[in-house]
Structure 1
Amino acid sequence: MRDDLRPGPRNTIGDVAGVLVGHSDDARLASGVTAIVFERPAVASVDVRGGGPGTRETDLLLPERTVERIDAVVLSGGSAFGLDAAAGVVAALAEQGRGFEVGPMRVPIVPGAILFDLTNGGDKEWGRYPPYRELGFAAAKAAGRMVGLGSVGAGLGARTGALKGGVGSASSVTAGKGLTVGALAVVNALGSATVGSRPHFWAAPFEMEGEFGGLGPAPEVPPEAWFPPEKPFAGAHTTLAIVATDAALTKAEARALAVMAQDGLSRALVPCHTPLDGDVVFAAATGHAEIEGDRLTALAMLGHVASMTLARAVARGVYEATSLSYPEAQASWRGRFAGG
């Protein structure tokens, strides 16, 4: 199967037809928002692991719920304050006349999830109202095919157990008809994406074309690598992700895709899905291509590809990140291992 895969031309979730991404962030705040906007409403579902999730409108993504399609997904820093970001994305889409039709009204459907970055050194004294609604609006307005990586958007203030976290993305194109799977992750995990004090990534077996350094797997895994150092601030956890495909899927099939894609997080982060993480993986299908052959077999392979693609996205999020400009800010991979 691996020999049949290749990255898309951008090697981001922007390679999936119908998917746009926008970031908005504030360096003083050391936080931000990432909006994934669908050019046409997409079939979507979600899988929530981790013990501390913070979400908006994820219940409607269950297969038995009425609404089949969504307009966007929003990922935000700011913990519970960041849930306001979805209101900004809703406002931006409402201006475009987007949304679920209810009589004369249209209601944009925008599920979301948040990560904790309140103790990363940024200025969180915002007064009565947090700035995430405006950041969400700006992120939706900025959505396009090009996807910024590293310390941008919701990943600006993200950290991991060992190194600075950030936004990562990757894509895979299958052989044959060429279905595309893309993944985007905002990596803010309790665990580590790298093997102990080494520069090698846990996701190295899935790397394509040197996308996160080309170092290959670590030559050995020391015992301490399974227990990364504690993060400098308690509670600063959670990896948020979305996988998307151009395949036409049902809502139940999108749910299966999200469940399988969660394995990508556990392949790229050690430990993963802890009681202190709020890991959430959304899955979306834009429906630009039909699945051929046996549907269950095809879905199983699509989920497998999604998990590998998400593992690569996690590694790229750490590889591309840069340190915050605050005292005692967490070191980045590039700063520690590449002199950047």
Structure 2
Amino acid sequence: MTNARNLITDVAGLRIGNADDATLGSGVTVALFDEPAVTSCFVMGGAPGTRETDLLEPDKLAPGINAVVLSGGSAFGLDAASGVQAALREKGIGFAVRDAVVPLVPQAVIFDLLNGGDKGWGRYPPYRELGYDAVQNAGLDFTLGTVGGGYGATTANLKGGLGSASAVTSSGHTVGALVIVNSIASAVIGNGPHFWAGGFEEDDEFGGLGLPARISPAERKLIWKGGPQPATTIALIATDAVLTKSLAKRLAIASHAGLARGLRFSHALFDGDTIFAAATSRKPLRDEAAEFTELTAIAADCLTRAIARGVYEATALPYPGTLPAWRDKFGRE
């Protein structure tokens, strides 16, 4: 069952902020938690760009973190977390160490340096300021597609973007996914219009096309961004369930199934595929093993749907020679 917004903000206890720059062709997305969230992550791509992910391992000290950043800019984009930190520090939010307050802000980035935007930013990249601005824009409702960290995202054959979806488990726990689809491969079957995620769609959220009657060998042929061009799909899974860091880690691991279903293909050598999993701890698990197992399955489904929504809602970048958006080729069904 899908929640009212069908966004990750259906999970109580978090807000999403976006900031982007049309000239730059890139941007930043931030998830802000009302209270420190129990968070872990799992990286399965061969070329990740991350910040403070070691902090999220179950054996590390930090009980919860304040925000997660998903941004463009490749390694340059890691400056975005500094801007988010600055905004949170101004609000007195962070991990207290006596009189010091340190906002804990893990991050992952996508490679969008070759998408046609102007990356001649001079000495310092603009991502710190974009991160700061994203915090100011945070709320419960936000746009999908060519926005925030998904502004400059692309797939092998179509414009990528920012996607999200949510669901409620049979035990009443809410789970949601937020993803930047910048895949090395494709979210659509063959040349489209059907999405690999078609069998998981809820309420015509990405066109209502479903799956074709048959997927031919030609449509299964691999297509990917050729040459040494890294690509990455990065995501945040959130739930209102009460989880330990160990269970959050397991949730992040299991959610990678959503990438494998929503894209053909993922987890490649040039990918930086990374998933964060966060618990806002509003609703305990009564039957931990059974309810958590369902939670992991539904989280992966949400991510599969969010991938398709990110591509479906995207608009083409405003530069010559860029990839078309799904709706440019197939219209809005």
TM-score (norm 2): 0.98
In the other structure, the counterpart of 2:321 is 328
**Conservation of the 8 A alpha-carbon contact between 2:111 and 2:232:** yes
After TM superposition, give the deviation of residue 72 of structure 1 in Å.
0.2
Q: 1-side partners of 2:149 and 2:222: how far apart?
A: 23
On the 8 A contact 1:201/1:218 being kept in 2, the answer is no
Q: Distance in 1 between matches of 2:21 and 2:133?
A: 11
**CA drift at 1:290:** 1.1
1:70-123 superposed Cα distances (whole Å, 9 cap, x missing partner): 000001101100000000000010011000111101100000011100010000
RMSD value over aligned CA atoms? 1.3
Could you list the runs of 4 or more consecutive aligned residues of structure 1 that deviate by over 4 angstroms after TM superposition?
none
Q: Could you say what secondary structure the match of 1:239 adopts? A: strand
Residue 157 (structure 1) aligns with? 152
Shift of 1:148: 1.4
Partner of 1:3: none
**Who is 1:218 aligned against?**
212
Could you give the per-residue CA deviations for residues 129-182 of structure 1, whole angstroms, max 9, x where no partner exists? 000000000011111101210000011110001211000000001234x21000
SS at 1:172 equivalent: strand
After TM superposition, the structure 1 = structure 2 runs for residues 79-94 of structure 1, keeping only pairs within 5 Å, are 79-94=74-89
**C-alpha deviation, 1:230, in angstroms:** 3.5
Q: Which residue among 277, 285, 289 is the counterpart of 2:279?
A: 285
Aligned-pair identity in percent equals 53
Q: 2:260 aligns with which of 259, 266, 273?
A: 266
DSSP 3-state at the match of 2:182: coil
Q: Given the alignment of the two structures, is residue 205 of structure 1 paired with residue 219 of structure 2, yes or no?
A: no
Contact 1:247 1:287 (C-alpha < 8 Å) held by counterparts: yes
**Aligned-partner Cα distance in 2 for 1:239–1:218:** 25
Matches of 1:337 and 1:307 in 2, distance apart?
27
Shift of 1:339: 6.8
TM-score normalized with structure 1 length? 0.96
Q: How many Å separate the matches in 2 of 1:224 and 1:127?
A: 45
Counterpart position of 1:305: 298
Aligned length: 333
Whether the aligned pair in 1 keeps the contact of 2:7 and 2:176 (CA below 8 Å) is yes
TM-superposed deviation, 1:188: 0.2
1:236 is displaced (CA, Å) by 4.3
Contact 2:207-2:332 within 8 A present in 1 as well: no
Distance 1:103 1:299 in 2: 36
Mapping 1:36-185, distance limit 5 Å: 36-176=31-171, 178-185=172-179
SS of residue paired to 2:219: helix
Q: Structure 2: state its 5+ residue gaps.
A: none
SS of equivalent to 2:298: helix
Q: Distance in 2 between matches of 1:301 and 1:259?
A: 14
Is the contact made by 1:45 and 1:251 (CA closer than 8 Å) also made in structure 2?
A: yes
> Is the contact made by 1:227 and 1:270 (CA closer than 8 Å) also made in structure 2?
no
- Structure 2 distance, partners of 1:71, 1:218, is 43
Which ranges of structure 1 fall in alignment gaps of 5 or more residues?
A: 1-5
2:311: which partner in 1? 318
How far is the alpha carbon of 1:292 from its aligned partner? 1.4
Paired with 2:218 and 2:228, the residues of 1 have a C-alpha distance of: 20
Q: Distance in 1 between matches of 2:103 and 2:251?
A: 23
Provide the rounded CA distance (Å) in 2 between the counterparts of 1:119 and 1:236. Answer: 10
Residue 22 of structure 1: SS of its match in structure 2?
A: strand
Which residue is 1:194 aligned to?
188
- 1-side partners of 2:111 and 2:184: how far apart? 11
Change over 3 Å in CA distance of 1:37–1:257 after alignment to 2: same
Q: Is the 8 A contact 1:14 1:21 kept in 2?
A: yes
**Residue 280 of structure 2 aligns to a residue in which SS?**
strand
Q: What is the aligned partner in structure 1 of residue 23 from structure 2?
A: 28
User: 1:196 touches 1:224 (CA, 8 Å); kept in 2?
Assistant: yes
Contact 1:189/1:239 (8 A) holds in 2: yes
Q: Would you say the 8 A contact 1:14–1:147 is kept in 2?
A: no
- The alpha-carbon distance between structure 1 residues 331 and 233, as it changes in their structure 2 partners (threshold 3 A), is farther
